[in-house]
A and B are shown apart, each in its own frame.
Chain A
Amino acid sequence: MIVFKTFLKVLNKNKGIILLYTLILLIFAYFNMENGETTTNFYAEKTDIYILLEDENIGLTKNLVDYLKSVSLVKEIKEEKLEDALFYRDVSMIIKIPKNYRIDTLNGINREIEIQSTGDYTASLEKMLLEKYLRIQKIYLNEQLEETKVIEQINETLNKKVTVELTSTLDRSSLSKAKLYFNFSNYAILAGLVFVICLMLTIFKEEKIKKRTLVSSLNYKKYNRILFLSNGLFTIILWLLYVLLGFVLIGKTMLSYHGLFFMINSFIFSMCALSIALLIGNVSQNKEALSGIVNVVALGSSFLCGAFVPMEFLPKSVVKISHVLPSYWFIKNNDLISNLEQISLKEVHPIITNFAILIGFIIIFSIGTNLISKKKLKQS
């Protein structure tokens, strides 16, 4: 009991550092959540193009030009400045309709429309639209119809619209906030637990104190168990604190099944962070090196695994490397949970798989800690 009480006393005297990490979590989570909401409205964008028309603007040619005008923003540029316009991205594409295009096309000769583009995504979009038009035109020309009929059919086809409706009962904004909060908690949990647990182990397992404990009548295995349970209790308290803050910042989403999954995910991750902290605490007994270790472990894995920057924006090689870190699976799970439409085996399965991977990490780190502490005890 005295070990546990003293653990709490020493912990209490280091509460400043816990408050510091909590404050960091609060500030960054708040700003992230304010600025990082997912967009739910979409609007169409038109591509800036230039049409270099060498054919007569009648019939099939005119229809093509009209179509391009309707789906793009056609700019007026002097011919000698076309190259510059493309270079400076005043236009994304220059479409050249060659001389006798109409006549040749009607006579079954395949005339190519030359394009010059910047190669960016707007140009790709424009290319797609042009190809769509030309495919439809080809279909009706193959049917040997008259020019006016062909134009009529093309326009009719192009005007057909299919309405696609995306329906979701989810509160996307709130779930996005929750995801950002729990992703950021990756740093706060790792930094807080690694720092405090390593510090406590450094204090309680300092060689001189350890010697005093070993010569005392207290069973050393029991002493280690008490220290482990004390650290476990601290982990649960810190997790509860961060979950509670989650309730304050996110609100009622935390009461849904999404909230429950977020909590379970962060609990398993907290246990994983505990096992990491115990491993580091057993390997290093250097108080001065602690800040450096926290930066490497917490900041390093948070950056690599997308706690601060979404994984989509990270280079593929970085994402590949991050697979070996528990933070990756924790953050991946947060993403999956925020997109969870309904509770079904199919949807929940990947989340549970990630839970299992995190538990696997806990087992590996715990075995490592055991081996190291046994080796150290033998050496001493």
Chain B
Amino acid sequence: MNCIEIKNLTKKYKDVKAVDNLSFEVKEGEILGLLGPNGSGKSTTINCILSLLNYEKGEIKIFNTLMSPTAYEVKKQIGVVFQDVAVFDNLTVYENIDYFCGLYINSKEKRKEYIKDALDLVELNEFTNYYPKQLSGGLLRRLNIACGIAHKPKLIFLDEPTVAVDPQSRNSILEGIKKLRDLGSTIVYTTHYMEEVEILCDRIIILDNGKILATGDKDELKKLAKIEEKVTIEIMDLKKSHIKEIEHFPNVENISYENNTLQIVYKKGKNNVVELLEYLNQNKIKYNKIFSERPSLNDVFLYLTGKELRD
């Protein structure tokens, strides 16, 4: 069953199309990743879905109901965590969560229970009486999430919730999101961090210039890139003639040598390292580290758009 159905969504800012004829669905219980560089239309798409923005064309249905600013019954089941931290500086952590939860739930008792669950989820139990200004960037982001999901919504939008967050907090946030999915929530997750998408998302939509470039799970997407192996070796002072020779190895798609690091991208095969090591040994070329990896979503993005995801 689909939680969200979007058909031919188009949003313009004057003459610029921020979202261009977008159509996709979000299935119940999945984590859908909206992946794209800054300005690709991720946040605009979410704002249109939430009726925060008017749009020129298209149809948005959530839980089979046409979404509008007054669709309060639908809104009851939606939780949103915006990119910018949106909390009251004058209220404590507990009071903030209570307020935003209170916009959906009137019962004080029920709220109390829900706030406890939200605090557990984002691991902020020790900071309930702290004011936002007393929290670190990571803790603040966790509070932001708690405020958005405390009312236990069925559908959660997370718009780049880990921007400028320390690794410890990031892990905690990602773990929390997984828990939400396990509890039965459907999640729409936007980010430009491909690692997060790889870890979290069941399905991914790659956006650029307001258009869908590709959609599928991470393996399906990686197949699109037609790359099978990426080998990285640390070599001191590699001669240009050697680089040219390696370039002519079978299946080599691309080769680069920068900062004493040689990177070779292979179109096919998973055991290209053996041949490479033999060549290095024969030519008595010394190397320090060597590792092989499967292509990342960044490679997919590079293949599809010709630019890096974080450009």
The reply to whether A208 and B82 form a contact with Cβ atoms under 8 Å apart is: yes
A208-B84 Cα distance, complex, nearest whole Å? 7
Contact of B302 with A by CB under 8 A: no
A10-B104 Cα distance, complex, nearest whole Å? 20
The reply to whether A209 and B88 form a contact with Cβ atoms under 8 Å apart is: yes
Q: Which residues of B contact A13 (CB under 8 A)?
A: 90
The reply to whether B147 and A212 form a contact with Cβ atoms under 8 Å apart is: yes
A208-B144 Cα distance, complex, nearest whole Å? 11
Stretch at the interface among B94-102, B217-225, B253-261, B284-292: B94-102
A1-B105 Cα distance, complex, nearest whole Å? 11
- State how many angstroms separate the Cβ of B133 from the closest Cβ of chain A: 13
- State how many angstroms separate the Cβ of A379 from the closest Cβ of chain B: 11
Q: Which residues of A contact B51 (CB under 8 A)?
A: 215
Of the candidates B69, B72, B100, the one whose C-beta lies within 8 Å of that of A212 is B100
The reply to whether A212 and B91 form a contact with Cβ atoms under 8 Å apart is: no
- State how many angstroms separate the Cβ of A290 from the closest Cβ of chain B: 15
- State how many angstroms separate the Cβ of B113 from the closest Cβ of chain A: 16
The reply to whether B106 and A1 form a contact with Cβ atoms under 8 Å apart is: yes
In A96-141, the 8 Å CB interface with B consists of: none
Q: Which residues of B contact A203 (CB under 8 A)?
A: 88-90
Q: Which residues of B contact A206 (CB under 8 A)?
A: 86
A220-B68 Cα distance, complex, nearest whole Å? 13
Contact of A162 with B by CB under 8 A: no
Q: Which residues of B contact A215 (CB under 8 A)?
A: 50-52, 75, 78, 80
The reply to whether B88 and A10 form a contact with Cβ atoms under 8 Å apart is: yes
The reply to whether A219 and B91 form a contact with Cβ atoms under 8 Å apart is: no
* Interface of chain A: mostly helix, strand, loop or mixed: helix
The reply to whether A2 and B102 form a contact with Cβ atoms under 8 Å apart is: yes
Of the candidates B50, B86, B95, the one whose C-beta lies within 8 Å of that of A208 is B86
Q: Which residues of B contact A6 (CB under 8 A)?
A: 88, 91, 95, 99, 102
Q: Per-position contact with B for A3-18: 1 when CB-CB < 8 Å, else 0? A: 1001001100110000
| Given contact pairs A2-B98, A2-B102, A211 touches B88 in the complex (Cβ within 8 A) | no
The reply to whether A14 and B75 form a contact with Cβ atoms under 8 Å apart is: no
A212-B78 Cα distance, complex, nearest whole Å? 11
Q: Which residues of B contact A148 (CB under 8 A)?
A: none
Contact of B103 with A by CB under 8 A: yes
A204-B48 Cα distance, complex, nearest whole Å? 23
Contact of A285 with B by CB under 8 A: no
Q: Per-position contact with A for B19-38: 1 when CB-CB < 8 Å, else 0? A: 00000000000000000000
| Given contact pairs A2-B102, A208-B82, A211-B52, A217 touches B88 in the complex (Cβ within 8 A) | no
Of the candidates A1, A2, A212, A219, the one whose C-beta lies within 8 Å of that of B80 is A212
12 contacts between A and B (CB under 8 A): A6-B99, A14-B90, A203-B88, A208-B84, A208-B85, A209-B86, A212-B103, A213-B103, A215-B51, A215-B52, A217-B73, A217-B103
Known: A212-B80, A212-B103. 17 other contacts (CB 8 A): A1-B102, A1-B106, A2-B98, A2-B106, A6-B88, A6-B91, A9-B91, A10-B91, A14-B90, A208-B84, A211-B52, A211-B82, A214-B52, A215-B51, A216-B75, A216-B103, A220-B69
User: What are the 4 tightest A-B residue pairs by CB atom distance, in nearest-first order?
Assistant: A2-B102, A208-B86, A216-B103, A217-B76
Interface residues of B (CB under 8 A from A): 50-52, 69-70, 72-73, 75-76, 78, 80, 82, 84-91, 95, 98-100, 102-104, 106, 147-148
